[in-house]
Structure 1
Amino acid sequence: MSDVVFIIGFNYDSNCYLINDNVLVDTGAGQNKEYLFSKLRENGVEPENIELIVNTHCHFDHIGGNHFFPNAKIAVHRLDAISIRNEDTLGTSMSAFDGVDNSRVDVELEEGDKIGDFEVIHTPGHTAGGICLWDGENLISGDTIFAGGGVGRMDIGGDYNDMKNSVERLTKLDVVNIYPGHGPIVEKNGKDHIKLSYSFL
């Protein structure tokens, strides 16, 4: 299985995850560059060597640091790519676009696409184009699933029925570890947390 390096969010930042030594999942709100860079370097990765940024969805606290990585390609689901390119205040937040080039999308992701050992799962609900990444053991869940049975809010470009369907899909996976967009990670019993999330919907 893949190694996932957990970079806990600082202030308004989402959590970020380093996979494959050159892929960064989410970049935070764009307000703590030195913190993020220091965490990458602690794990032996120079920021300029990041080749791909994968955004789990289009909200400002996940895409705001994209411009820190001008050499990297930016990948996001095709539906959230629309919000980013349009600098859409419903789907995201204008503060994200204070960073030059934060409306750039290079790769439009779809269900089933591969990123290293991970497969893209389209999990709308928090946003129309929200995704999770799944490698058969680890689930990088963005703001779809949180530790302790939480799910992402559905009032900023989201949809309750979409969220319920997405979480139901995830209950069918044998998830061991969950790496959510905010808060603590879940180790060993991820499937139980997903089932709990579904019971709350």
Structure 2
Amino acid sequence: MSSGPKVRTQPLGASAILGNPYSVFVLKEGYAYTDSDGNTRADGSITLLKGRHAVLVDTGTPWDKDYLLQGLQAHGLEPEGVSFVVCTHGHSDHVGNLNLFPEATVIVSRDICRRGVYVQHDFDAGLPYRLDDGLEVLPTPGHCAGDVSVLVRGTEEGTVVVAGDLFEREGDDEGGAGWRLLSENPELQAEQRQRVLALADIIVPGHGPPFRVIKEA
């Protein structure tokens, strides 16, 4: 495993990151915790990229339907106005509302599809898939074999990576196993985490608030 860049992180303290050509809005902040009965309670972050197109990254669980629709309406959007839906991986807390977006091009992990027609793209070669100026879908495997993240250039905070469960939350590497317990391939995920830390100024993780990535000399 590469040691990667020397970085530290800190909470962003905001759910909106303005920019040009795209702004980033975290409609729902993901979470994961163990309740008093020992049950795991979790939901994934839901993020809207708003610019020339409306792009939704992850759709939460089926129980997030009303919350998601209200979040879109707050931005003047109906589901039919969403051009792309990117689900970073296929777990139920990330794909639970795909059926709401019949007009969108849907990317689930590495499957790219619009109305039953599949687009071929060689994610396995490490190639990003371009959505628009400043927007790319990156292969970031490890948590699951086909995981992807979305890179957003040109925000007021720099480059944002909406990373799904590549990062569970800020500080998820502290105190032992952390994210590794949920990883299909921890070694590969560690390499991809270092790659994204080198690219990003802000990371939107799968189960926590956005955080800054501060490169150190």
Q: Which residue in 2 is equivalent to 1:25?
A: 57
- After superposition, the C-alpha distances for 1:42-95 in whole angstroms (9 at most, x for unaligned) are 1111122112110111111001111122222211333xx4xxxxxxxxxxxxxx
SS state at 2:73 partner = helix
Provide TM-score, normalisation by structure 1: 0.71
Aligned residues: 167
Tell me how far apart the structure 2 counterparts of residues 18 and 75 of structure 1 sit (CA, whole Å).
15
Q: Contact 2:54/2:81 (CA < 8 Å) preserved in 1?
A: yes
One-letter amino acid matched to 1:65 = N
Tell me how far apart the structure 2 counterparts of residues 148 and 171 of structure 1 sit (CA, whole Å).
12
1:15 aligns with 2:45: yes
One-letter amino acid matched to 1:16 = I
SS state at 2:43 partner = coil
Tell me how far apart the structure 2 counterparts of residues 68 and 13 of structure 1 sit (CA, whole Å).
18
SS state at 2:94 partner = helix
1:66 aligns with 2:98: yes
Whichever structure has more helix as a proportion of its residues is: 1
**Greater relative contact order, per chain length (Cα 8 Å cut-off, separation 6+):** 2
1:179 aligns with 2:204: yes
Provide TM-score, normalisation by structure 2: 0.67
1:168 aligns with 2:185: no
1:190 aligns with 2:213: yes
Tell me how far apart the structure 2 counterparts of residues 153 and 172 of structure 1 sit (CA, whole Å).
19
Q: Which residue in 2 is equivalent to 1:86?
A: none
Distance 1:157 1:68, change over 3 A: farther
Deviates more, 1:149-158 or 1:44-53: 149-158
Q: Percent identity?
A: 31
Q: Which residue in 2 is equivalent to 1:92?
A: none
Q: Which residue in 1 is equivalent to 2:185?
A: 159
- After superposition, the C-alpha distances for 1:81-128 in whole angstroms (9 at most, x for unaligned) are 4xxxxxxxxxxxxxxxxxxxxxx7855662311122222221111100
1:140 aligns with 2:166: no
Which 5+ residue runs of structure 1 have no aligned equivalent? 82-103, 196-201
Q: Cα RMSD between the aligned structures?
A: 2.8
Whichever structure has more strand as a proportion of its residues is: 2
Q: Contact 2:136/2:152 (CA < 8 Å) preserved in 1?
A: yes
Q: CA deviation at 1:7?
A: 0.8
Tell me how far apart the structure 2 counterparts of residues 149 and 105 of structure 1 sit (CA, whole Å).
40
SS state at 1:150 partner = coil
Which 5+ residue runs of structure 2 have no aligned equivalent? 1-19, 31-40, 154-158
